[in-house]
Amino acid sequence: MNEENKYANFESDIKTLETIISELEKEELSLSQTMELYEKGKLLIEKCNKVLDEARLVIKEHEN
């Protein structure tokens, strides 16, 4: 995956996380729906954190 796609996917993942949070805040979901959204959100957060960590490394390399 090239860098441009990675960052485009990052932005899309953030929007998906925002949607998940909004749904969870409604409190109108069953327990199974809540758990499903929670797990999906958890995976997206891990994925986004990985992209951010990689970006931090690139920035740090360019500072040196």
Q: Domain containing 47: what range?
A: 3-63
DSSP 29: S
Number of domains into which the chain is organized: 1
Residue 8: per-residue pLDDT: 80
Residue 16: per-residue pLDDT: 97
For the residues of 1-58, what is the DSSP string, one character each?
--HHHHHHHHHHHHHHHHHHHHHHHH--S-HHHHHHHHHHHHHHHHHHHHHHHHHHHH
Residue 64: per-residue pLDDT: 74
Residue 1: per-residue pLDDT: 59
For 10-63, write each residue's pLDDT tens digit: 999 999 999 999 999 988 999 999 999 999 999 999 999 999 999 999 999 998
